Amino acid sequence: MNQEILDQINAIIPKENILGDEPMSRHTTFRTGGPADYFIRISSKDELSKLITVLKKENIDFFVTGNGSNLLVSDNGYHGVIISMSGLDTLQVDGNRILAGAGVLNSKVAQEALKHSLTGMEALAGIPGSVGGCLRMNAGAYGSEMKDVVESADIMFEDGHVETMSVDDMKLRYRGSRIGDEKLYVLGVTFTLFNGDKKAIEEAMADYAARRRDKQPLEFPSAGSTFKRPEGYFAGKLIQDAGLRGFTIGGAQVSDKHCGFVVNKGGATSRDVIDVIRHVQKTVLETSGVELDTEVILLGDFK
């Protein structure tokens, strides 16, 4: 990126929010990944729109992320600009509605709901991600999904215009949506919850948290559940039946606590992680005839 382009970006984004040659291991929950040419944190829809306009005009690749919780970046990094939505962090309560900026963590929305005795977010509280990313993939847990609690979202289209999109218009489905299909950008989300009993909400959240601690390898960096659930099967069971519990390459491992998770046991590279994932996919296909798709987005060169 030449100085002329940088000057254009500096006119839009405060310098302290522009990081050059930034290791993506600092910004993904896998804690792996090489440097992005630039990592830029935006704090308004105006900044996002203007920044994307410049990047498109100059033919510079870019990727928009939230908490980096479902992202595996190549060890070679990313030749382009990573745009972080973490600065879109407003959070307000209006009756039984919660309005959250795309960069707000899902867990923070759940805590705000608890504070105001609003029920509906309990099962989703432990999902590691921002509300924008969670909505894009219709994240879910314990029988609840984002589509069950979201009323609408402010969405920026590729041409920069913004629309308030209803939950029906988003076409949310199992781990997918129109938002992801059309490469749209979530700016903010409106949740519609229900009045409830604060103690009961707190107890339910504590119960889900205990179940997560008991069943999931929360002590290690990961992207959460690595594989989508194949229709009629459970990914973790297929992986276990294939004899892959604890399978390890370098610092990456199929968790011996929950086979649906690939974790960074310490010092893993993104290559280690993708090699484990691909070995799991190949072995499960050979042993059960089932193709496993990942929930994880790959960014950069993984050849």
Secondary structure of 107-170 as H, E, C letters: HHHHHHHHHCCEECCHHHCCCCCEHHHHHHCCCEECCEEHHHCEEEEEEECCCCCEEEEECCCC
Catalytic position from the list 31, 136, 175, 229 = 175
Q: pLDDT exceeding 70 applies to what percent of the chain?
A: 100
Catalytic residue at 175? yes
- The model's pTM is 0.93
Model confidence over 183-202: pLDDT tens digits? 999 999 999 999 999 999 99
The pLDDT mean for the chain works out to 96
Catalytic position from the list 74, 107, 177, 225 = 225
Q: What are phi and psi for residue 168, nearest 5 degrees?
A: -65, -40
What's the count of helices (H) and strands (E) in the chain, helices before strands? Answer: 8, 18
Residues 65 and 27: their CA atoms lie apart, in Å, by: 9
pLDDT of residue 253: 99
Judge contact between 238 and 290, C-beta under 8 A: yes
Supply the CATH classification number for the domain 3-84. Answer: 3.30.43.10
Judge contact between 187 and 224, C-beta under 8 A: no
Residue ranges per structural domain of the chain:
3-84, 91-214, 217-299
Catalytic position from the list 22, 47, 122, 295 = 295
Model confidence over 72-127: pLDDT tens digits? 999 999 999 999 999 999 999 999 999 999 999 999 999 999 999 999 999 999 99
User: In this structure, which topology does domain 91-214 adopt according to CATH?
Assistant: 3.30.465
User: In this structure, which topology does domain 217-299 adopt according to CATH?
Assistant: 3.90.78
Q: Closest by alpha carbon to 89, among 191, 192, 223, 187? A: 187
